[in-house]
Structure formats: structure tokens, C-alpha cells
Structure 1
Amino acid sequence: MKRNKILVLSLLACASMPAAAQNDSIKELSAAEKFAGQKIDVGADRTFTREEATAAVSVITSETTDRRSARNIGNSIIGQGLGLVSLQNSGTYSAADPTFYVRGLQSLSTSTPLILVDGIERDIDNVSPGEVESVQILKDAAAVALYGYKGANGVILVTTKRGKYNSKEVKFSYDHIYNYMVKRPQFVDAATYASAVNEARANDGLGARYTADEIGAFRDGTYPYLYPNVNWVDETYRHHGVTNKYNVEFTGGGKNFRYYTMVNLITDKGFIANPNENDGYSTQDKYTKGSMRVNLDADLTPKTKMRVNLLGVLSESSSPGANAEAASDAGNAAAGPANIWDMVYSLPSAAFPVRAESGLWGGNPTWSGTVNPVAQSVGAAYSKNHTRSIFSDITLTQDLSAILEGLGGTVRVGYDNTSNIFENHSKGYDYGSQIPGAWENGAPTIADDYRVIAESTMGTAAETNTYAARFHFDVGLNYGNTFGDHSIYTQLKYDYEYQETTGLNNTIYRQDVSWWSHYGYKNRYWLDLALVGSGSSRLAPGTKWSFSPTVSAAWVMSRENFLKDVEWVNLLKLRASFGIINADYLPGDNVWTYYTQQYVTSGGTYPFQGSWTSQFGRTYLDRLATENPSHEKAYKYNVGLDASLFGSLNLTFDAYYQRRTDIWVEASGAYTEVIGLDAPYENGGIVETWGFEAGADYAKRFGDWTVNVGANFALNHNRIVEQMEEPRLYGNLVQTGRPLNQIYGLKAIGFFRDEQDIANSPTQTFSTVRPGDIKYEDVNGDDVIDANDQVAIGFSDAAPEIYYSFHLGAAWRGLGFDAMFQGTARYSAVLNTKSMYWPLINNTTISQYAYDNRWTADNPNAKYPRLSSQSNANNYQTNTVWVEDRSFLKLRYIELYYNFPQKLMDATGILGGAKLYVRGTDLFSIDNLEVSDPESYGVSAPLTRSIVAGLALTF
């Protein structure tokens, strides 16, 4: 029998049997049948199989949503989902959430996609991987049509698990996670630092700061309190942290009732090296989160069904207290924790000891603006953040076939609330040290006994820091039926939502009225039509409402007579879509700045903009009002192909084009300064994006062996067509026509060899140049190097144009492994991190990498310019020396596991399954940045790698 007929019969059989039996049956489906039967949700209160769906949607199933042992589903799906660009960010465990783009950068306004959990906009940070059934990436107009103003940048739809009829099951899992930092910054020792400072001062034409005796003292450690040698990274942070993750799931139900309940607990202890030196409290970076989900489905009557989703989250994070210099007493403690990594990146190893000989925390007036990071991590006490969240919605579905066969209705109400309480228990501490003087008889003298009195009692302040609330309501009427070869599903729906956040005038109201229809002929031709009217309180009167039409179609070629007898073709489908998706994005937070004339009172301005000053204080006009405002529009085109071959190979291909128009831009390029007012914002921006996505997955059983391999590849390119750019003096400065977030800078052509080389070269105007400084190309040919010689260099530093991944796995009699690699290309980094790449400026330190790669007369072909002790505007421009290829290939996860034999589980009488596993996440990276991580570099916590030991039990 033809395989696609088997698919239809299998799905029909699954639909008519109990859920537990369904699960067993689904396990026997081939990879092709699973692919064709994937549920696609485009917001129409009904899911469609991939075979009949017309939209461009990729699906991440529950089989792969928890391979990284991450704290939330957002961090778990990094590298997964065809068309999804997901990038890690640095930070503490509680704050390191990824950045997402669907099909890359799309607009001058924003490219952030809409994130939905069970159909309502929610924070993905609160959802644990274990409770997720699937994550869908909605990419084209047909997929996002019903999400109104919020769907223009694509949608990430998270669907949580539900119960099963006539069953009961308990699952427990425990992950013990060992985290360690990668590419921790390495700064030079004290003697090398002192030599580097002297070299930099000599390069600047200045005298030495440190004598030979002092450098020797730094090197041999003879006077550790006067001439210290402190590795601030190792003294402040340990190399490892530990996370424990517990998850319990209860799934089941009876004849008319289903339930799914999940309890999740995460505890994490960070990298502070000495957090327990105080009596009664710890200063460790800690995070604890407990969450509980309850999803209920009840058949109230044979024709009335109720669905309830509840999620409660309690979390607490703790970190060292606020900056000591800003916290002179408990009542005046600075709000929020100090940035200790910034201190580590700033402070030289030679600055002062961790503690003075007297026991006082180290400090020195030369570095009075840089706090002792060890003291800050131990002596400033701590602060806490408490977050309390509740997410709830209830849906009633009514079968109205008594009125008309196939008629139904739904109504849903949702309410979410999140609040954050900040506790400030910071305190100040005394610090100082002895200051060395001149050397006499081969030994240093004491010039001063420096001390700052800042000791204070621990703070007790607590306050509500932020809150957010969201109300959602929708009601719909739908009709579905089949008439011979014809099938139809149509829906009329009204959506209403308001959200409010901390602050004044932040409440946003949105409404959508939509009609969506899905028509099929002979299960081989499908046509979808969506007509959506959307309203938003963010938009100006007269423009609040918009109309968004979308049309899409699919042709299931594998059901045609010329392919029906081809056994190895299980599914072959062509798709196409077009739609206009409107957006209510604005260029900032203050909506009214763009619609009405602004009047601002200031004591030093009359009567023009801020650059025109006088001694009179009065009200003045600030910015011209926008005339004839509109709203941003996305014209989306997509063609795609879905195929399943040989029962085991699944293929997906999509090509797309999008034109964004009426994007809000600041229109100063279209106005003259003579008017004396800031130019208005106008709907003048246009951006084109285009690209393609290709995915392949192969899964097959060979006796006792199962294998699965696959790959995804996406190219996302964009171009600014119009942005009301001001006239440029030279063509190389024009940014219109270039990609979004294109880096602009100077083209370096080497380093100046000597004074003669400087004299024979065009004048560089940024600062006085010396041998070893960067030499730039005179791009415009005017014999002067200045800002007019900037050109497009590298690619975007916000998102890569190429994003790809590949995975492989195999299993034999319960023993198996899975691994996924993910990479990027056409992606750039600007290496301007202080001390790491730009050393010594503003009294900072220098990394070992910068020191080893600096220009000297003996190393004229170095990677980086000479050292400078003062600000060097010539060298520290954005230029090709500092722009690096940010491409990378990472092992996102590898898992080795063993599933115990089912016979052994049956013999226990309790267990239905048991799995032991060891995982590794982000274990290695192939990239071009030797001492930084390409995903996240700068003055911040390094990214981490993890080793996980875990156990999963099913009862």
C-alpha cells in the first residue's frame, strides 16, 4: 500500500484510541509519517498537519527541547529551529537569556520576534524545558497573519504539555550540572604591567612611572603590601559553579478529564571565590527558582469543553552588594549590585593588595575610581531580587452543531501578573593601604598611610522594583465541514489585550478582528485566506487601525496520479504565500513625541533647539510634530517545499522576500538646521530582506540500531532602501543601500614605521601620531584622514547572515548518543573591550594577549598598535584592526545515555522507564577570537560550559 495512505490510516486510528495507546502507536510511525503529521498552529483555534498546512513553520519537538539541561526553554533551543537565529548572551545564571531573530534582522525599528506561550504573549524565561510539548517558529505572512501588529518580525510559539485520557504517569528527572567559565580574561602580572606602562609613556614622549627597583619588587614579591602582584580574576572568581535541577511531571486523566502537572526546582551557586567570609550570610551569586504548572482539560458536557492553564513562578537571585563608594551608609546604599567584572577588567595587578598589612581592604588613591573587586564580592554584603509571577488562562469550547453541523465557538480569558521586589542589604567598608615612597638604601620608604572610612551597617531597604500585567480576551466562531472532495474551515475572531508595565503612560491596548478561512480540494490543493483588522493605542488618531490581508496556497503533489504509485515519495508539497502585515512599532518609549508638538522648559535655551543657548530661561519648542503619520508595513512573500522520501528522509526548503515600508525614522537628513528645531520623525524608512532556508533530517531503524542525522542552513540578507539619510559629502559614507547594523570604520593599511613615514603620509587628524600608530587609507583622496574616510567594513555585529546547524545520533539496545553543532558566518565583532584589546587607557590594565601582540620597534608587523598611556583617538577609532570575523562553530550539546531494558522495568512493578545520561553543553568552539567568545565578548562575565550527570525515571 502506498505510504501516504498508511499515514492517513495511522493518524485516523490514533485519533480514535486512548491517549496511552496513541503514544505507543506514534512511536511506531516512520520519520516521514511523523513529519507529515506534525501539528501546525497559526492561531486559528485549530491545528493542521504539515501535509495540509500552507504556512512556513518549523517545529522543535519535545524530543530535543531538553538536551542542554537549561534553566528555561529559551536557552534550551539555542541552535534549533529552521529559520530561528538564537544567540547566547553573557551574565549571571539568572540573567543570561538568549537573543532571538526569526529570519535575521528585518527593520530599522526592531527585529525582535513575538514570543507566545500557549497562544498568549509571555516571557519565555519562565517556561522550563520539561513542560514543553513543542516550539514552533512561524516565519511567513500565512503563519503570523492572525497575530496583528505584533507578528511582523515572526513568532516563536511555545506549546506546553497536556494530560491523557484514561491514564496516569509520573516522571522524575534530576540534573547535576557542573559549570565552568571559558576564555576567562588573562591580564599581565604586576612586573609586566609596570614595564608596559613605562613603555607606553615612552611611546607618548613621557618619563617612566616605575623604577627598576619597583619593577624588581613587583617581580620577586619582596614587599607584597607595597608592591603587590594580584591576579584579580582568580582572587575574585573561582573556576566552577554548580546547578541542581529537579523536575516532576504528573500526567493522566479519566474518561472526561485530563491533567498535566509539573513541579520544577532549580538552584544555582555562581563563581564568587570567597562568599562565606561573613557571619550569617553569603555573598555568592545565587539563584533559586520554583515553578508549578497545572494544565487541565475537562469535558463539561459532550459538547462543552474547558481548558485551564496555570503557571506560578517564584524566583530569588542574590549577588554581592552595591558599590562601596556609593554606599556611605545603610540609608544611602546604592540600588542594585555592583559590576564586579568591570572592576576586574579595570584594575591592574600592581594597583594595591587584596588586603593591606593591617587587614584593611586594599585601596589606593591612584585608582580611587576603581573598587577592589574582592572587597566588593565579600565586604559589601548582598542584595536580593524576588520575582513573583502568575500566568493563567481559561478557554471554553462549545460545539454548536445543533444550530449548524460543523459550527463551534470558543472564548478565552487570560491574566498574567509579575512583580519584582528588590532588597538592598549592601553596606560600606573601610579600605586603604600604605603608599610607597622613594627608595633608600635598596628598600622602599612609606610615603603615606592611605585610608578611606566608609564602614556602615547593612542596609534593610526593600522596594517594588518592577511589575507587569497583561489581560487577554478573545472570542471566536468557527465552522468546519467536508462536502465530497471539498473541505473548509473558517473562523471569525475578536482579540483584545492590554498590558501595563512600571512607569507612567505605559499601558498599551490592542485589538484584532479577523476572518480566516482554510479550503481544501481532494486533500491535495489547499488555499488559506486571512483578513485582519488591527487597532493599537500606540498609534496616532486616524492611524490606529489597519487592514492586513494574507493569502497562501499549497499543492500536495504526492497525491497526484503521476506520483501516487511512486513508493519512495511519501510527501511532496509546494507552498506559496503573500501578505501585508502591519506593525505599531515606534522609535522610542514616549509615543507622543512623534505625533504632537513638544514644549520643553529649560533654563538655558531660547527659543530654539538645545544647540542655541542664551541666558534666558523659558519654554521652547523641542521637535517638529509629525504630519500625516502612518505605521510600519511588511510585505511578505514566501515559496516553499516540503518533502518526505524513502520513509526516512524529510526535506524543507523556503525562499522569501520582504519589503518593509513606512518605518519610523528621524528625518534630520531631509531638513536644514536653519529652522532651529529638531527634525520630526517620519514614516520614511524602507528595508528589503531576502534569503532562503534548507533543512534535511534522516532517521531510520536498522535492526537493533537507530540512526538520525540532519542539518539546517539559513541565509538572511537585508538592505536599507531608504532611511531619509542626510546628504553625504562622499559616496563611501552613504549608508543607504547597505545592510542593517553595517559596521563603518577606517581601513587600516599598517602601522607608521618612523617619523619619515608619518611625514610622507596624509595628515591624520584624530590625534598626534607617532611610530607604531595605525596608518589609514585615504579613501576619498583629499590627502587628509578624518571621519570622511570611513567605509563599510565587515558585516553586522548584531546578527549573522548565515546560521546553520547539524545533528547526529545513534542508539543500540538502549545505549545511545546525540550531538548538535551550530555555527554562523558573515558575522563581525568590534574588539573595543578595555584592557583586553584597548589597554592602559584611563589607568586600566592590560591583557596578556594585548601585550604579546603590541607593536614595538622590534615587532613592526604586530597585530595591534603601540601601547599608549594616554587617550589615543587615532588608534581607538573603529577600524579594520579591531573588526574581526565573528564566525564560529560550536558543539551545542552532546548526550550519552542508557535506557534500561523494558523487561527490567516491568520486573520492578513500579518503574515504566529509567534513563541515565551524561551531557556536555558548548564544550568547544572553533572561531577566530583567541581570547574572547564570539557570541559574547566585552566587559562581562564569560560564557560557561557545562557537564551534566542526570537521571530520569518514569513510574
Structure 2
Amino acid sequence: MRKFHVRKLLLLPGAGFLAAGLWAIPAQAVHYSPDTPAGASTRRATVNGAVTDDFGKPIAGVTIRRKSGAGTAVTDADGNFSLTAAPGETLVFSHPGFRITEATASAGKEMKVQMLPSLQDSDSVYNILYGQQRKATTVQSIAQLGSRELNRTFSTSLHGMMSGRLAGYNVSYTPGIPGDESFSPNLRGQSPMIMIDGAPARNMTNINPEQIESVTLLKDALATAMYGMRASNGVLLITTRKGDKASGQRISFTAGVGTSQMLKEYKPLSSYDYARLYNEALANDGQPAIYSQQDLDHYRNGTDPYGHPDVDWRKEVLNKNALMQRYDLNISGSRGNARYFVDLNYTNQAGPFKTEGFNKYNTNADMQRYLIRSNVDVQINRSISASLNLAGRIQNNNEPGGFGPSIMQGIHNTPRNAAPVKNPDGSLGGNSSYDTNLYGATVQSGYANLYGRDINAELNIRADLSDITQGLWFRVGGSFYTNFTEYIVRTKQNAVYQLYVDPATGDTSYLKTGEDTDMVNVRDASTTERFFYTDAQLGWTRGSGNHHFNAMIGANYDNRILGSQLPQFFLGTNARLQYDYAEKYLFEAAIGYNGTNRYHPDRRYGAFPAFGIGWNIAKEDFLNKDWLNMLKLRATYGLTGNAFNATRTSGSGESYFVYNQYYVNGTGYSFGNSHSAVTGVREGTLNNPYVSWEKARKFNVGVDVELLDSKLAFTAEYYNDLYFDLLQLRGTNTSLLGIGYPEENIGKQRRKGMEFSATYRGTAGKLSYYASGNLAVYHGVDEFFDETYRPYPWLYRTGNYTGQSYGYIAEGLFQNEAEIDRSAWIDGYRPKPGDIKYKDLNGDNRINAFDQTMITPGKPNINYGLNLGLGWKGFDLAVLIQGVGNRYSTVRMAEFDNNGLGNAWEHHLDRWTPETAASATYPRLTVGTNFNNSRASSYWIRNTSFLRLRNAELGYNLPETFARRFRLASARFFLNGTNLLTWSKFKDTDPENLLGNYPATRVMYAGLTIKL
């Protein structure tokens, strides 16, 4: 930039311009600039200032630039900066972990600029097994996200917070009462091993997201090989937060309150529709009607609520909304040679059941959870440091004496005309067919408590051995975990009464079913688990010019006792070597050698090697483009194992070693006239002395691209994994042996797929935004499945997609007797019009087991997610959309099941009748089980794919000046919603509640975060 020195013009009072003096002024302090913006002073001066975060702590490494011209500066360790700018012009502040911030330059006083955390966590550094690795030099298949993303989805489980956020990872969710939800994580078709801070995790996936620094998915063989025998399923690595050694104390408190509402579920028929359809079903079965026209009139008109009730059991037993609260307090910082992070969390989630004031105890299904974590790091001397991590959980679950899951199942299965809630005299309604009154089971049957306690302690010591040779280090660590659960049941039974009115006299009486009992106090079950884990590593990190080395060797021992099972241990060693040349050519190799006592001593240990290579083409001179930050090609290959299937459990719940032969209790024998039998002994399931771990050969290739100052990032991966030596029972077993056959390492599956993820981060003035999407396409094929001889190729499972359903191919519904007569004969059954018609695959004019085949479409699984976010001034908005494609499920909610006592739902109104034959979507109605229509067939396969607005959060940060009036570093209000909207072709119920049990919920949540 051209600089102009300025002569200072003196103006003397009363004399006009008498003289002009010229002298030089330092160019860096004041000068004219041709690119000074309009409205700003034309004189540039030195602008000094300091940058802090939302805690008011200094931020080092912030880049400050003039928005309208050249000139930059970077903050030092204390957050201070100095820049030449014109007063009044705009300065832009940027840092990878914070939002782009703009401020107006001011001269003469120090600027104070506060930066808010970025909308999305930075992933420039990955947490891996036993260390960290920069994204630029990584060839492993890794995905990672931080605590800010996790915090936006309300869930009591970490798995629920992660859904839709990472490519290759999806979660199957089974709703349940608070604290009893079931999450089935899936990483490339397998359930991953979970580790927290480098130690195998146990029951701590309900960890508070405020305690988490990052969650990392280790997907391929290279990323997990050091855990060899436990690495085939991948690893979910949780890294907890540490204190910040570069700042003083930080305090953060978050309080949130919200409600949950149940999502769509199967809608039961009214009593009138139920009764008339029941009569129709009986007629289809050739049986007389049980409901008269007078009965139907009473149901339709509601003129006899006690004799002909129409009870909405869901409304009578459940509340529309359930309250939930979450409070979190964490303190972090450093003092002297120590840094610390302490977090306290309390979650209170109320259940949906109604309660009554006459009880002196709680009958709702509530969950109260207390979590605590304390991570302390101490620098003992120049070379030795230590860390002590403590974590604990106290969780109390309460539920009604009728037990929450049973009540929810009863609501689903009980017809609306079963019985009134209460009789005119206040007694509980019921009868011999429906002897459980759901209202009584909810509020008059006592309660049950489940108590859970977890304690985890970790101690790690690290020594810097650079005095021996530069870059040498040693680490040793150990952890102990124990949990205790206890189930206390305090329940009682209630009699139910059926009102009877004498038609002649009008007198009333009650028929009693069951008995009222006193409350019992039973310790139903208790379990204790204990885990001890220790490991050690010796590492060496060295760089020389363009050559960079990172090597380590280690050993670990994991001993676990699960309840009454026999102890199991894993013992092994591992090693890793990483090398890169100028971050251009990359190489990494890893190996694990370990074993477990579940296998025969002669065949207990195995080696699991893996390696990977990478090439960052963007570093080449021939492709030196400013706009291209990374173009990295990478590939990995390796062998991993799975020993989690090594433990088998007997009928009494005791674990045993599969390679040993066991004898179990057999038939009792009586001798002489004695009435007491002597217990016999018989041979148990055959042993398999050659049983071994399951194995996988994994191949992964990927490309990572970053453009435009890393604003745009893209990753694509392809994997092809062969799982072999899978434990299976032989299909050719014969029952002539008289005892069970053992599982053998004979199965083989191919699992392969593609994963894509892309992120764009940008700014437009004071608006910052990002869009991040992920897509995973996966399928598995059973390459070998030992099965008995089958005469037709379509009967075989081998060669088909893994996890498919098998049955008959449906060809619609029979419309008349003539069609039945000219169709294939169904073995053992004469169909009627309105029954399902099946395809005769082998052409023998008979429908039997030889006509069964795969009935679900052979399509790969598709999972995807889209994260959108923006920030403007103090506002921020984050949206998560999650979807599942090619999801096909067997859905059959049968009418009048359970020997005619079952419920019926709205979709049964579309049943086949002679009048609705052309438009019917459901077979003719029957009472109880229909031999033909209840068979597994393609008729009941539904496309249950869905797209869900999984989460949305709107936040507002109070202006810094306003927050400081209350002596706060920052304050943020937020509104949050989970499971807000759902789009699906399947309309009968929510696609995550296909069985009609406890429904999925929508959570609306509001809160405040303050930082001191």
C-alpha cells in the first residue's frame, strides 16, 4: 500500500491560517489509505485490544483483519492484539473454534471483543486409540463430533443424541418408559465397542453431553486393529473434557425445563365399530353374533356407559404431557500445576401415567439421575504428569405396581368395550375375560423401584523421557468400574367387578373376579458387575525436516465379572507406526496380539495386523492451488476379530466355557417306595474344543477434499469387509443324537457400502452459517449359511441379503369361490373369499413350505442426515433432519387376537367384504388366529422408511454489555425441540413404534445457560 506522510496544519486563534508546519508522523500510526471505507476516519492509527470467549477468558490465535483492505494481526497467549486501522472501520475476527465476529475499530482506548463458540465443532484433530492425530495426516476411517452437537438433542442416552449426525452410524430406537428406552447402535452393520477416555466402557452410555469433549467413530481395521480380538465391530470412542491450562476458573450453569408428548400410534376402534366388526368376523367364521342390535345401539349412542362402555384407555390412564428437567453445573480451569474439570448433572424425567392424591407414594414412571465427573490433571514435575478421572451415576427409576410396559401393552390390546373404568359404586370395572383394570394397575397397585449405582475411577501417569531421546514418552494407566442394581417391588392386586342388572326387577349386583391383596415387599433382583482395566504404552514422536515419525508399543489387561458369570479376561499387546513425508505421503501400520480365557489354552491368542497408505495430492508442486487445501487419497486393509460371542449362558443364567463339556441336571429317579426322587445327570450341549473368535478382513478406501480455506469439506468412502468364522449351528444337525450341537466357526458374511459427508461453512456480513450432510449406503450378504438340503434355489438363505424376512409371496386377496377353485391348493386349509392368495413358486399346484422365499426387497440400507445452522448477531439456529431409506418391516396388527379378546384398530375398517372387494387393503376379518392369513408373507411387508425433523434449536446470546450488568460473562436462552415432524409412507403409527408398545415422544424444551 502506498503511504502518504502528512504535514500538520496549525490553526492559531484569531489569526486565521498564519503558518503551516510540516513534520513527519510515523507511517504506521497515522496515514491516508485509498481503501478506507466511506464514513470511517481517513486517518489510520494503531488499534489495540483483547479478545475473550463467552466465559470472558482470553483466546489465543484469533486472526484479525481489516474488512476493506490489507492488514492482519493474531492474538497472543493473553488474547491481546495490535493492528493498524482507521477508527470506525470494520475489523473481522476469526478462529476455528468460534464464530466469525465483526467489530468497529476504535482508537485511544483498548477494544474488548467477545467471540461466541462456533455453530459446529472443529474436527481438525481426531482422538484415536491412545492418542490424537491431525486430520491432515490421518489415513484411518474416522468420523467425529463434539459436545455442542450432542447437546442439541434431548435424550437420556448418548446413542439417541448421535442419531443422524455421522455417516455410517445409525440407531434403532425402541421407545420405553423413562430410563428404560432401548437404543441399538449400528456402525456399518455392527454394534460398536464403546470406550471412554481409552478404557472399555461399561454401562456409562448415559453420560452427560456436557462432560464430553468429542465422540469419535473408529470404523476401519487400521483404526481399531490394536484391539484386535474386540475390533471387528468398530469403536465408539468418547473423550471427556479437561480443564483449560491456559486460563483461570470457568463456571457454566445450564437449566432446562420441558415437556414430552407421545407421537402418533395405532388408533383403536370405538366400541360400536369394534362390536359390529366382531359380529362380522364371527359370521365369516360361521359363528353366531354375540352383539345384538340393542347392544350396538347402546354402544353407538352411549346410553349405557356401565353395561356398554366406550373407554378411551389411553385418555383414562395417561397424561398428554410429561414434565422433564435437566440442570448442569460445571467448573473448569487451572491453578498452579493442576487443571481441573468438574461436572454435576441432574435429570428428572416424569412418566406419562396419571397419579392420584390418595396414594402416599409415587405411582408414575419417573426417572431421576445424578451424574458427577471430576477430571484432574497435575504436572508433578518437569517430566511427570498424572490424571485422575472419577465418574459416578445414581439413578432411581419408579413405575406403577402394574408395571409400565405391561400397562402400555394393556392399553394397546384392551378393547374400548372391555369394561368401564369404575362402576357406579366406585369399584373397579372388569370381568373374567378382562380381569386387570388398567386404571387400577396404574394408581392402585403399588409401585416398583429400580436403583442403579455406577462408580468409575481412572488413574494415568505419563512421563516425558526426552532426556533419554527427544520425543520419547511413557504412559501407564488403570481404571476400576463397578455397578450395582437392585429392583424393589411393592405391589398389590385388585379385584374387579362386573355390574349385573336384573332385567325383570332392575336390581343391581356385582360379579367379583380376583382378590384384593395387601402390598408385598420383595427384593426382586439385584446384580453387581466389576471391571478392572490397565494398560501401558511406550511412544516416540520425532520430526526431522519433512520426515515425521510417531511410534508406540503397548499392553493391556481387561478383567470383567458380570453378575454371577465366571470371570473373563482379555490380555494382549499392540503397536502402531505412523510416518508422513511433508504431510504429502502417508503411511501407518498397527497390530494387536491378544486373547481371552474363553477359548482353549492352546488356541487362545491371535495376531491382528492392519496398514494404510495415503497421498495428499494438494501438497504436490504440480497442483499447488490456493483454493485447494486438501486432496487426500487413502486406503487401509487389515484383519480384526470379535470375541464377544465367546460367552454362552446356560438355562440357569450361568456362563460357561464353550470348549469344555458340561453335565446338567436330568430326569429324577425314584427308588423303592420312596416318593422323593434322586436328581439325575445328563450330558449337556456338545463342547467345541476348536471354537475361536470370529474374524473380519476389512478393506477401506476414501478421499478427503477441502476447498476455499477449508470452508468446503467433502469425504467419500467405500468399504468391503468379509466376516468369516462366524459362530453358527449347522443346519445339517440331526435330533437323533439326543443332545444339542455346539456352535462352530463356519459362517461367512460380506458387508460393504459407501459413505459420504460434506460440510460448508461461510459468512455473509454478520451472518455465519453452515450446512453439513451425510449419507450411508450399506448391505450385507450371507456368503455362507449352513443349511439343510433344499430342493429349490429360492429356498436357500446363502447368497441373500443379511437380515431379510422369508415367507410366501402374496398375490392379493381371493375374490370368489371360482378363483379359489382354479388356484393352487393350500395344504391343510380351504381358503375363503377375502383370504390372502399365495404364489405357487414350484408349480406343483400346492402351497406349502417349498413356496417360501425372501419377501423383503433386496435393497441396501440407506441412512442420511442433514445439519443446518446459522448465526446472526446474538441469534443462532440449528436444525437436524434425519432419514432412513429402504426400510421394510413386517407389520401385522391382527384383529380380535388372543382367542378373540384382542383389540382392533382403524386399519381394520378397510377389510375385505363383498362390497369392498375392489378397494380392500386388509383380508376378511376372523376371530383369533387365521391359519392362512397369519402366515409370514409379503402381504404384511410395509415400507417404513421415514424422514424426521429430529431436532431444532433456536438460541439467543444476550449482548455482552447487558450480561456484564449482572456480572455474567455471557447468558444464552434457547428453545429446543426433538422429534418435531415426521414424513413416512406408513401412516398407521409412528415408524419407530411398529409394535404398538410405548410410543415415541416429542420433546419441547427451553433453558438458560450462564457463564461466569
User: When the two structures are superposed, what TM-score results if normalisation uses the length of structure 1?
Assistant: 0.90
**Structure 2: distance between partners of 1:926 and 1:68:** 19
Q: Is the 8 A contact 1:149 1:584 kept in 2?
A: yes
Q: What letter is aligned with 1:502?
A: G
Q: Deviations over 1:342-393 (max 9, x none)?
A: 211221111111112232211111334xx22111001101011111111110
Q: Is 1:82 aligned to residue 167 of structure 2?
A: yes
**Structure 1: distance between partners of 2:523 and 2:936:** 43
**Structure 2: distance between partners of 1:491 and 1:58:** 23
Paired residues for 1:796-875 under 5 Å: 801-833=861-893, 837-860=894-917, 861-875=919-933
Change (3 A) 1:850 1:561: same
Q: Is 1:688 aligned to residue 747 of structure 2?
A: no
Q: Deviations over 1:715-768 (max 9, x none)?
A: 111100112122113221111111211111211111112222222211113644
Q: Is the 8 A contact 2:150 2:162 kept in 1?
A: yes
Which secondary structure does the structure 1 equivalent of 2:963 belong to? helix
Match of 1:203 among 273, 281, 284: 284
Paired residues for 1:220-619 under 5 Å: 220-273=301-354, 275-322=355-402, 339-368=406-435, 371-435=436-500, 449-462=510-523, 465-505=526-566, 507-564=567-624, 566-586=625-645, 589-590=648-649, 592=656, 594-603=658-667, 619=681
Q: Is 1:38 aligned to residue 38 of structure 2?
A: no
Q: What letter is aligned with 2:397?
A: S
**Structure 2: distance between partners of 1:625 and 1:203:** 53
Question: Alpha-carbon deviation of 1:279?
Answer: 3.0
Match of 1:118 among 197, 208, 216: 197
Question: Alpha-carbon deviation of 1:538?
Answer: 1.9
What is aligned with 2:836? 774
Change (3 A) 1:810 1:41: closer
Change (3 A) 1:472 1:891: same
Change (3 A) 1:260 1:821: same
Question: Alpha-carbon deviation of 1:395?
Answer: 0.5
Q: Deviations over 1:199-239 (max 9, x none)?
A: 10000000011111122222223322222111111111122
Which secondary structure does the structure 2 equivalent of 1:721 belong to? strand
**Structure 2: distance between partners of 1:19 and 1:740:** 57
Q: Is the 8 A contact 1:69 1:175 kept in 2?
A: no
Which secondary structure does the structure 2 equivalent of 1:553 belong to? strand
**Structure 2: distance between partners of 1:210 and 1:185:** 24
Change (3 A) 1:677 1:312: closer
Question: Alpha-carbon deviation of 1:678?
Answer: 3.5
**Structure 2: distance between partners of 1:11 and 1:534:** 46
Moved more, 861-870 or 399-408: 399-408
Paired residues for 1:647-658 under 5 Å: 647=709, 648-658=711-721
Q: Deviations over 1:303-359 (max 9, x none)?
A: 11111111111111100014xxxxxxxxxxxxx666111211221111111112232
Change (3 A) 1:436 1:687: farther
Moved more, 647-656 or 782-791: 782-791
What is aligned with 1:164? 244
**Structure 2: distance between partners of 1:781 and 1:616:** 56
Q: Is the 8 A contact 2:972 2:1010 kept in 1?
A: yes
Which secondary structure does the structure 1 equivalent of 2:638 belong to? strand
Question: Alpha-carbon deviation of 1:466?
Answer: 1.9
What is aligned with 2:990? 933
Question: Alpha-carbon deviation of 1:50?
Answer: 0.6
Q: Is the 8 A contact 2:252 2:329 kept in 1?
A: yes
Change (3 A) 1:34 1:245: closer
Q: Deviations over 1:273-316 (max 9, x none)?
A: 2x124331121111111111111111111111111111111111
Moved more, 943-952 or 248-257: 248-257
Change (3 A) 1:643 1:893: same
Q: Deviations over 1:484-540 (max 9, x none)?
A: 3222111110100111112232x2100120121111222222211112111112223
Which secondary structure does the structure 1 equivalent of 2:228 belong to? helix
Q: Is the 8 A contact 2:782 2:802 kept in 1?
A: yes
**Structure 2: distance between partners of 1:598 and 1:880:** 43
Q: Is the 8 A contact 1:854 1:867 kept in 2?
A: yes
**Structure 1: distance between partners of 2:452 and 2:742:** 39
Q: What letter is aligned with 2:428?
A: W
Moved more, 757-766 or 879-888: 757-766
Q: Is 1:914 aligned to residue 971 of structure 2?
A: yes
What is aligned with 2:48? none
Q: Is the 8 A contact 2:658 2:689 kept in 1?
A: no
Q: Is the 8 A contact 1:364 1:435 kept in 2?
A: no
Question: Alpha-carbon deviation of 1:160?
Answer: 1.1
Task: Give the fraction of aligned pairs with identical amino acids, expressed as a percent.
Answer: 25
Q: Is the 8 A contact 1:649 1:699 kept in 2?
A: yes
**Structure 2: distance between partners of 1:644 and 1:728:** 53
Q: Is the 8 A contact 2:61 2:75 kept in 1?
A: no
Cα-Cα RMSD: 2.8
What is aligned with 2:97? 27
Question: Alpha-carbon deviation of 1:815?
Answer: 1.8
What is aligned with 2:55? none
Q: Is 1:899 aligned to residue 957 of structure 2?
A: yes
Moved more, 170-179 or 840-849: 840-849
Q: Is the 8 A contact 2:367 2:398 kept in 1?
A: yes
**Structure 2: distance between partners of 1:547 and 1:83:** 27
Which secondary structure does the structure 2 equivalent of 1:64 belong to? helix
Which secondary structure does the structure 1 equivalent of 2:573 belong to? strand
Change (3 A) 1:470 1:136: same
Which secondary structure does the structure 2 equivalent of 1:149 belong to? coil
Q: Is the 8 A contact 2:62 2:94 kept in 1?
A: no
Question: Alpha-carbon deviation of 1:855?
Answer: 1.2
Q: What letter is aligned with 1:589?
A: R
**Structure 2: distance between partners of 1:570 and 1:483:** 23
Change (3 A) 1:593 1:869: farther
Question: Alpha-carbon deviation of 1:37?
Answer: 5.9
Q: Deviations over 1:832-889 (max 9, x none)?
A: 34xxx44444233444323222111111131111111132021011112211012110
Q: Is the 8 A contact 2:421 2:428 kept in 1?
A: yes
Moved more, 713-722 or 627-636: 627-636
Change (3 A) 1:639 1:160: same
Q: Is the 8 A contact 1:71 1:129 kept in 2?
A: no
Q: Unpaired runs of 5+ in structure 2?
A: 1-59, 65-72, 82-92, 101-116, 650-654, 670-676
**Structure 2: distance between partners of 1:474 and 1:652:** 33
Q: Unpaired runs of 5+ in structure 1?
A: 1-8, 106-110, 323-335, 606-614
What is aligned with 2:220? 140
Change (3 A) 1:279 1:600: closer
What is aligned with 1:784? 846
Q: Is 1:717 aligned to residue 782 of structure 2?
A: no
How many pairs align? Answer: 902
Question: Alpha-carbon deviation of 1:435?
Answer: 4.4
Q: What letter is aligned with 1:87?
A: S
Q: Deviations over 1:610-664 (max 9, x none)?
A: xxxxx99964444433253332111001111111101210111111110011111
Which secondary structure does the structure 2 equivalent of 1:112 belong to? coil
User: When the two structures are superposed, what TM-score results if normalisation uses the length of structure 2?
Assistant: 0.85
**Structure 2: distance between partners of 1:313 and 1:930:** 40
Which secondary structure does the structure 2 equivalent of 1:542 belong to? helix
Which secondary structure does the structure 1 equivalent of 2:455 belong to? strand
Q: Which has the larger radius of gyration?
A: 2
**Structure 2: distance between partners of 1:309 and 1:691:** 38
Question: Alpha-carbon deviation of 1:29?
Answer: 8.7
Which secondary structure does the structure 1 equivalent of 2:790 belong to? coil
